[in-house]
Amino acid sequence: TKTSVLLTWDFPETSNPYRFIYNRQKMEVDARLKKAVIPNLQPDTSYDFKITAPEGNMGGLRHRITAKTSPPITIRRPEIDQNRRETEATVTIILPLLETRTPVKYVFQSFCSEQIL
């Protein structure tokens, strides 16, 4: 999201917590959960995460991950183009402009099968 990242892992099972360090912040996470949401981050920012397991566990597992939060994009609903209704089975939509200078790689849009009015 704009202010959080989801980290997932598939490391060996352990009852000891993993330690996450990023931007001088430290966080312990139950390793059995196999995922962690890191909140309160800045939008459109890259973060380096260092993941470590306690020394007595798996020889001190260490891993480094880089993740980036989303840019601060305001997304508005698309509009139906009422002037281009060619058939009953065709709908033309107008996607709103994105208000960002950051390049956007993907935009996902979902549609329902109910009648659109």
> For 62-114, what is each residue's pLDDT tens digit?
788 888 888 877 667 778 888 876 677 777 888 777 666 666 666 665 666 55
Type of residue numbered 70:
S
Domains of the chain are 5-68 (2.60.40.10)
This prediction has a pTM of 0.56
- Beta pairing partners, 36: 7
Rounded Cα–Cα distance for residues 108 and 66 (Å): 23
Name the E strands within the chain.
Answer: 5-8, 17-22, 25-30, 35-38, 46-52, 62-68, 79-80, 93-94
Tokens in use for 54? 């306690």
